[in-house]
Structure 1
């Protein structure tokens, strides 16, 4: 698996957006990264698509967690905000970076002991952690591998449910599972930013349904010219700079049925 270091979003309106290709004041700010760890046991690895979708949901769960933006007090924090809110804010004020590492056995148990949230899919488990400085990795995360293992697809994924957002991957890219998980996470974050508070609540209460699929070549050309949110990778790892994900269906979130608790 590999890490993803920075992205831009085509069509981002802000002059100093974290999703701009050009160098901006954000590059001068302290840089942070969002760590994600996927559990890959030797004999029971998750399916690739499920790992991608679970990573995307993990980013949304972190962004919507009360510790990221809700109640709570602590040293160095603004009164009334959660314990992770300052770290999330600092991360989003700089370039948006996500790094995916893999763990199994005792490595996974040590990762689970650190503050974070584990999100479970059909076969995948992904733990997301509050943002950290680029050079501030906890030792139990720093020692985990970012490469060397990819994931297979036991059977072709079903057609995407178009009632929920779909994160379409570029068909021209050959990405490791870790790289693709980071890109899916970026796409989910762009979708989150597109929504009103009311629609964010609706998506969360529905359980953050989404799909990650690879677009067909002709479909991809349509998607990237349709004024949709787009992820553009800076090309620091694995692939050349360019568009990686198109986010379709954000406008469907308000109609999602609420999940039974």
Structure 2
């Protein structure tokens, strides 16, 4: 039942992010057996005037999960093998690149999912075999000024950004993409619809709320108590860029709080 409910990408996450809901040990973080490093590329549309930072992050969260839930990523779909190989590697890597004008239009022809004309999530593949249209896009230095997102939408789940960690918009886009996938995984493992995580608000967390959530995570490293008491699931960074390994960069919450 669980395997039927989860896509290849979400199924690979389940034993790690909600071990209390699935059988078997959590997978490790070993490199893939074939030695190939794979990643999902998130192409952020950053025109010269710049879209609002929050809008880009919310689109990134949606795009990453939308690709995982797309029927083309299901068994017998054309993306299945690529998504399954990426998700089965232990670490689900994402790389953010920025594009504008003609470069943005060019990546629309590469297999993937675009959300709000702001972010396109590309079908995962080897990091050293990306198409020319993607290779020419810059990775580092991708940022936008902070904005005020206002209160989260009451009808949407929320991804809370850590008040302890400064992240560029490129880094944060990858992190919220992880968060939407993790939230969808736990929902599906409970028997709920993972598509409920397709539209998440993204907001900075208050220090008080964040400290309380982190205490719940520290008290029960499995994450069960934090989920059952607060409806939250953490993103712990692998430490490849910007932050130390194990840093909680954001928290996905299935419901808003007052």
1:219 corresponds to which of 209, 215, 219: 209
The reply on whether 1:165 has 2:157 as its aligned counterpart is: yes
Matched position secondary structure for 2:215: coil
Once the two structures are TM-superposed, the CA of residue 169 in structure 1 deviates from its matched residue by 1.1
The reply on whether 1:60 has 2:60 as its aligned counterpart is: no
Q: Which runs of 5+ in 1 are unaligned?
A: 1-6, 71-80, 253-261
Q: Which has the higher contact order (CA 8 A, sep 6+)?
A: 1
Contact 2:17 2:186 in 1 (8 A): no
Contact 1:163 1:249 in 2 (8 A): no
2:118 corresponds to which of 120, 125, 140: 125
Once the two structures are TM-superposed, the CA of residue 117 in structure 1 deviates from its matched residue by 1.6
Matched position secondary structure for 1:183: helix
Contact 1:224 1:246 in 2 (8 A): no
Per the alignment, residue 239 of structure 1 pairs with: 243
| RMSD over equivalenced CA pairs, Å | 2.4
Q: Which runs of 5+ in 2 are unaligned?
A: 1-12, 217-225, 227-231
Matched position secondary structure for 2:48: coil
Per the alignment, residue 69 of structure 1 pairs with: 74
The reply on whether 1:106 has 2:116 as its aligned counterpart is: no
Contact 1:60 1:188 in 2 (8 A): yes
Aligned residue-pair number: 221
Once the two structures are TM-superposed, the CA of residue 199 in structure 1 deviates from its matched residue by 3.0
- Name the CA distance, whole Å, in 1 between partners of 2:194 and 2:175: 23
TM-score by length of 2: 0.77
Q: Which has more helix, going by share of residues?
A: 2
Matched position secondary structure for 1:37: strand
- Name the CA distance, whole Å, in 1 between partners of 2:16 and 2:77: 31
2:46 corresponds to which of 40, 45, 52: 40
The reply on whether 1:49 has 2:54 as its aligned counterpart is: yes
Once the two structures are TM-superposed, the CA of residue 191 in structure 1 deviates from its matched residue by 0.8
TM-score by length of 1: 0.77
Matched position secondary structure for 2:96: strand
Once the two structures are TM-superposed, the CA of residue 149 in structure 1 deviates from its matched residue by 3.9
Matched position secondary structure for 2:178: helix
1:177 corresponds to which of 148, 161, 169: 169
